[in-house]
Structure 1
Amino acid sequence: MGSGDGTGDSTEGQGYAADIDSIREAQARIAPYIHRTPVLSSTSIDAMVGKQLFFKCECFQKAGAFKIRGASNSIFALDDEQASKGVVTHSSGNHAAAVALAAKLRGIPAHIVIPRNAPACKVENVKRYGGHIIWSDASIESRESVCKRVQEETGAVLIHPFNDKYTISGQGTVSLELLEQVPEIDTIIVPISGGGLISGVTLAAKAINPSIRILAAEPKGADDSAQSKAAGKIITLASTNTIADGLRAFLGDLTWPVVRDLVNDVIVVDDTAIVDAMKMCYEILKVAVEPSGAIGLAAALSDEFKQSSAWHESSKIGIIVSGGNVDLGALWESLYKQ
């Protein structure tokens, strides 16, 4: 695990991009447009982990992932003049679909820059919600460059995937719900990529319960957050290599301070562990989960976690199942062949 000694118990007065007030405002703003997702549990999985786990199932959210929370908060916070020119974003999939859907709900255009290696199911979601797709290369540099060009050409408002106060505040509503549903949770494990989800979750959770423990779960092939925590500064990678396509972004200047100061630790797991956790979700929880959504369970099952002080100090653990958009073409092909 990464450095675990740079944490704080309070979010008061720290100047972070969001706070409990902005997150509660987001909850009220987006309530008509999102689902209040269920929390599942399994005594079989609890026995394997040795702790009680509570799965916050954002895989059942509109557009199949938590991203609709931040996207709808950002889009419905726009005034009419801003909204009239539409919105633009870049994303490998879940944020893209969320922006397309939120824009459709508001009745405005959505220009979506998507890398050519995005999963087909996520691209189909964007099309289903009426987003205008513009293709880019896979690199973050290409995505941002194309996005900037579209923004200049259209005048559309950028809806950032993670490094934005409205996005962070929207994602933080996950914590508000989870801690209403299971108030006794003492630890939350959250997937980490650009940091929008974990920043919102952390700021909300620690405002409600300053002693709650927040652990990030990160793939080994994209472990920039773990490296950043260890180095005390943002580290970016020359390339990433992980099955978790939703966890390939790097921390931003608004999300990094929250991760640096308030996230207790980062658990790094390899892709095999992620697939094993996906399999467990399918077979035991009976839930379709994408790799990025299964990583929290993979972290809870990992030797790294079980050998840490956090494991011994945790009793009731919330697992953020961030999404369920996974390509199942190979599965259907195999079944048709039988």
Structure 2
Amino acid sequence: MRKRLVFDFRFDPLEKKMSNNNVITFSDVLDAKEKISPYVHECPVVTSSTLDKMVGRKVFFKAESFQKTGSFKARGALNAVLSLVSKSPEVHGVVTHSSGNHGQALAWASNMVGLDCTVVVTKNTPKSKCEAIKAYGADLVFCEPTYADRIKTCNKISEERSIPYISSSDDYDIMAGQGTIAVEFLSQVPDLDAVIVPVSVGGMAAGIATAAKGIKPAIKVFMVEVEGKMSEECLRAGERLWPNPPRFLDSIADGIRVQQLGELTWPIILKLVEKEVFSVKDADIVKAMKFVFERMKLVIEPTSAAGVAAVMSQRMASMDPGLKNVGVILCGGNVDINHLPWY
């Protein structure tokens, strides 16, 4: 078993704790920020005058591609494991399933606090992400390339090894950690009118919406999805319309292929996130990814490019011109440079 580091938590419990109310609050996000800030990066905000002219708005990119482990996932993962070891000091390990970024983040966070970590990935997960997960010290377990098999394998390991499962998104500690992105972003760019967030199960969207609305109630939070996710249809109906069992969508944006929003993230998103959802095609993602590589000189993965594609879309062009300052989350940079999606 790894040697466990000792962390000094100097933060005061605030009102409406999620453990008592089964919700995430702005106070939870502030607590998470105080816990994780010494160990994660405050990622920069970057701009492109070329893109601003193209879209007729000021666009600000929060570059979480520079975050520890190469994605925003480090925030939620660290908050989750710190919360876990403070509540259950006897725990010896954790397990999760992941498309790659959460697996890397949880492996890194677990190593920070001396926990063993097992990550279940599908057999078609990019090699670069698998190698990174192992490099951060986790055990890797492969399963068939379906969402249902990923869950089944993860649950089996959790039971056999008596270790808790930490979701990539559908977990209040994870959401609170991801919400710290918005706290930083709005301190860097206070005049943001809207934020665009790529969405899979919805942990980042729920956390950012909670924090952003806590700071600036009038701000709008929009989600961007890959085609077939049905988020706008579900949000406008006010109910979960997705078919079961949960499945992966066919997209190069492997980080947002899960069709359904989470059971815990869904009510938060339904309450706080705009009903208009940007839906992007692979061709849009490739175009946006190329733009960022060539013109902004940043390495981003297809999931990040989904947010760029949204701001470049016709739907954004037709939106309220009052949304002058738009933020976009570049959520990760873990792309396999030997297999770029335009080759």
TM-score in terms of structure 2 length = 0.89
Q: Which amino acid aligns with 2:240?
A: I
Q: CA deviation at 1:239?
A: 4.8
- What does 1:174-323 align with in structure 2 at a 5 Å threshold? 174-220=181-227, 222-236=228-242, 239-249=248-258, 250-264=260-274, 265-309=276-320, 312-323=321-332
Q: Given the alignment of the two structures, is residue 49 of structure 1 paired with residue 60 of structure 2, yes or no?
A: no
Asked whether the equivalents of residues 73 and 166 of structure 1 are also in contact (C-alpha less than 8 Å), the reply is yes
Change (3 A) 1:72 1:269: same
Identity among equivalent pairs (%) = 38
Question: Deviation of residue 27 (structure 1)?
Answer: 0.5
Instruction: Write out per-residue CA displacement over residues 210-258 of structure 1, whole angstroms, 9 at most, x where no aligned residue.
Output: 00011111111x4232232133212335551111100012211211112
* Match for residue 80 of structure 2 among 58, 74, 81: 74
Superposed CA deviations along residues 298-331 of structure 1, whole A, max 9, x for unmatched, are: 001111221233xx22000111000011111146
* 1:135 is aligned to 2:142: yes
Change (3 A) 1:236 1:117: farther
Question: Counterpart of 1:125?
Answer: 132
Contact 1:193 1:225 in 2 (8 A): no
What is the CA–CA distance in structure 2 between the aligned matches of 1:122 and 1:321, rounded to whole Å?
A: 17
- State the alpha-carbon separation in 2 of the partners of residues 162 and 48 from structure 1: 33
> Which blocks of at least 5 consecutive residues in structure 1 are unaligned?
1-11
Q: 1:62: how far off?
A: 0.6
CA shift, 1:272, in A, is 0.6
Taking the TM superposition and a 5 Å limit, the aligned residue runs for 1:55-134 are 55-79=61-85, 81-82=88-89, 84-134=91-141
The AA in structure 2 aligned to 1:245 is D
Alpha-carbon deviations, 1:272-292, whole Å to 9, x = none? 111111001101110001010
For the pair 1:326 / 2:335, whether they are aligned, the reply is yes
Alpha-carbon distance between aligned partners in 1 of 2:44 and 2:232, rounded to the nearest angstrom: 30
More relative contact order, 1 or 2 (CA 8 Å, 6+ apart): 1
- Is 1:28 aligned to 2:40, yes or no? no
SS at match of 2:84: coil
Tell me what 1:147 maps to: 154
Distance 1:28 1:47, change over 3 A: same
Kindly tell me: are residues 243 and 330 of structure 1, through their superposed partners in 2, closer, same or farther at Cα, counting changes over 3 Å? closer
Find the aligned partners of 1:307 and 1:253 in 2 and give their Cα distance. 32
Q: What's the CA shift for 1:13? A: 12
Residue ranges of structure 2 left out of the alignment (5+ in a row): 1-15
> 1:1-56 CA deviation, whole Å, 9 max, x = no partner?
xxxxxxxxxxx999662111100000011112211100001111111111001100
- Which has a greater percent of helix? 1
Matched to 2:313, the amino acid is S
Deviation at 1:134, TM superposition (A): 0.9
Once residues 256 and 59 of structure 1 are traced to their aligned partners in structure 2, the CA distance between those partners, rounded to angstroms, is 26
Separation in 2, partners of 1:304, 1:268: 9
User: Which letter does structure 1 place at the counterpart of 2:269?
Assistant: V
Supply the AA of the counterpart residue of 2:162.
G
Matched residue SS, 1:318: strand
C-alpha contact 2:280 2:309 (8 A) present in aligned 1: yes
Q: Residue 62 of structure 2 aligns to a residue in which SS?
A: strand
CA distance in 1, matches of 2:133, 2:55: 37
